[in-house]
Amino acid sequence: MTISMVNPSGNLREQMPFLTKMERVIVSMQDPDVGMKMRNQRLLITVIPHAMTGSDIVSWLTQKYAITEEEALHIGNFLVKYGYIYPLKEPRNLCLKQDESPYRFQTPYYWTSTRWPASEMDYAIYLAKKNIRKQGELIDYEKECYNVLHKRINHTWDFVVMQAREQLRASKQRRKADRLVLEYQEQAYWLVNRPPPGAMEVLEWGPERGSIANPRVQLVTGHCFFLNNACVCECSFVKYCEQYQDHDPIMQGCLPSNPWITDDIMYWNMNSETAVMPTKLRVERWSFSFMKLLNDPLGQKEFLIYLEKEFSAENLLFWQACEDVQHGETSRIADKVDEVYKQYLAPGASNWVNIDSKTMESTLEGIHQPNRFVLYDAQRHIYFLMKKDSYPRYLKSEQYKNLLEKAIVPQETKKSVFPFMRRQRHSSPSPALLTQAGDDDGKALSSSVRLDL
């Protein structure tokens, strides 16, 4: 995919910060004191100066950035792929080999960021040079490009050929080593900017960004900044991570086993929303925060049972109804708000909730023009009421403590040692199945459904 960034302020370095970073690496590699050790490289009969081996590059990067060899090879490979270092042996293959293969630094003239985008005319001249120098030296895809360019910029073709001839003549007057180096440099540049078919286009970026540049000054009014002491906030992160460490399968594993590893889905079954008896970890999580309790349907059920005993179930029911209004269909808002009013807010309602008079007044007023947030304040009031009052008492209650005791701690099942005894993987029933009316579960579910438009 070719990118044409006709951005007047377009500076490639700015838009692609990684190029600046790469260049910094390259520059430090060439530092006279702590940079790479370079030597002369013999290619057949010519001696090329300032070359280095692939393994030297890898070990320099390993040492400089305190990383593993694998990572150093990975980074070094990018330096070559983006044309900042080019190989002398097998010059058409832009990749880094961790052996004695010789490499050289690309001249800044040909850096990806300086000469970008590559001009068509330059490419035409390059191909013309190759063609003139040795007939038939052009590779297939180059021949195609050559023909295409010949048609496209035909009006300048005389100029192109003349330039090519001039450049060839000038290069003949150079020493063989210099001439070779220049050829390699130019070739590397074009391999990056006009890659052969099948090679990865390293300069591919995806859709354009920043096509709207809005320079207007942002007016921010009525802001309140709450600058808390960050030390307190940061300790809360430490506490949170510690609290949840046992609940994080990547940190502590999960029992009975991680379904992705053993292909045993018991873990998912045990923790599903419809599980009858919850696991201990799950019940523990309900004590971490009120939100955690409410986010778990099983937790909500348990909490409701508790509230019923305390004769304050209407609070939770009201909260649930408000959630339904807020997240439900727009068309049904008016009806739902009406229902909520009748059940929870009207004087003498069957499930009347105890809200402070100010909130009640403004809510009742707002109900005349129902929108999805009309019950927001009342909902918040009840939420915090439950959180401060009923929730802590629930956690201390016999009901919760009993559940915690009875809750399951699964036995660990080890991964099967014999790979050929791996369990069959079945596709899980799609949630869409639950909503399909009258669908027979005898229908075999294929493991992958592809629907094309």
Partner 1 sequence: MCDHTFVAITFGPCDSCTLNKPLMNIYLQNEPVNYCSLCVEMMACQGLTQGENLASLKAESEGLKLRLEEERAKLHDVELHQAAEKVEPLGQLVTKARRSLKGHGNKVLCTDWCRDKRRLVSSSQVTEHAVTMPCTWVMACAYAPSGCAIACGGLDNKCSVYPLSLDKNENLSAKKKSVAMHTNYLSACSFTNSDMQILTSSGDGTCALWDVESGQLLQSFHGHSADVLSLDLAPSETGNTFVSGGCDKKANVWDMRSGQNIQSFETHESDINSVKYYPSGDAFATGSDDATCRLYDLRADREVAIYSKESIIFGASSVDFSISGRLLFAGYNDYTINVWDVLKGTRVSILFGHENRVSTVRVSPDGTAFCSGSWDHTLRVRTGRYLSLSDTHTHTHTHTHSLT
Nearer to partner 1, 289 or 300 (CB): 289
Could you say which of 310, 361, 365, 439 contacts partner 1 (CB under 8 A)? 439
Task: Give me the 312-341 binding string for partner 1, x by CB under 8 A, dash otherwise.
Answer: -----------x--xxxxxx----------
The backbone torsions φ and ψ at residue 86, rounded to the nearest 5 degrees and listed phi first, read -125, 150
Decide: helix, strand or coil at residue 160.
helix
Q: Give the nearer residue to partner 1 in terms of CB position, either 4 or 135.
A: 4
The window from 97-105, 153-161, 372-380, 405-413 that contacts partner 1 (CB under 8 A) reads 372-380
Per-residue contact track with partner 1, 50 to 89, x per CB under 8 A? -----------x---x-xx-xx--xx--x-----------
Q: Which stretch binds partner 1 (CB under 8 A): 127-135, 168-176, 213-221, 343-351?
A: 213-221
Q: For residue 383, state whether it binds partner 1 (rule: CB under 8 A).
A: yes
DSSP 389: I
Which residue, 61 or 192, is less far from partner 1 as judged by CB? 61
**Contact letters (x/-) for partner 1, 3-32, by CB under 8 A?**
-------------xxx--xx--x-------
What are phi and psi for residue 408, nearest 5 degrees? -80, 135
Size of the site for partner 1 (CB under 8 A): 100
Q: Provide the b/e sequence for 124-155 (b: ≥16 CB within 10 Å).
A: bbbbbbbbeeeeeebeeebeebbeebeeeeee
To partner 1, the closest distance from the beta carbon of 146 in angstroms equals 29
Residue 46 corresponds to which tokens in the numbers above?
Answer: 């010519």
Neighbours of 204 (CB within 10 A): 10
The answer to the question of residue 437 lying near partner 1 (CB under 8 A) is no
Site string for partner 1, 267-286 (x = CB under 8 A): xx--x---------------
Which residue is listed with tokens 């939770």? 316
Closest distance of CB 200 from partner 1, Å? 7
Q: Give the whole-angstrom CA distance, residue 335 versus residue 17.
A: 54
Of 44, 227, 276, 437, the one binding partner 1 (CB under 8 A) is 227
Q: Work out whether 388 is an interface residue with partner 1 (CB under 8 A).
A: no
Q: Where does this chain touch partner 1 (CB under 8 A) — which range of 33-41, 51-59, 399-407, 442-450? A: 442-450
Is residue 187 within 8 A of residue 110, CB to CB? The reply is no
Residue type, 119: S
DSSP label at residue 341: I
CA triple 366-367-370, angle to 5 deg: 95
45 binds partner 1 (CB under 8 A): no
446 three-state secondary structure: coil
Task: Indicate the Cα dihedral angle 27, 32, 37, 40, nearest 10°.
Answer: 100
* Positions in 228-257 near partner 1 (CB under 8 A): 228-231, 233-238, 240-245, 247-254
Choose among 396, 403, 375: nearest CA to 310.
396
CA 245 to chain centre: 24
Query: Which positions from 99 through 158 interact with partner 1, judged by CB under 8 A?
Result: none
- Of 185, 148, 247, residue with least CA distance to 48: 185
Of these, 156, 167, 258, 351, which contacts partner 1 (CB under 8 A)?
258
Residue 155 or 368: the one with the smaller Cβ distance to partner 1 is: 368
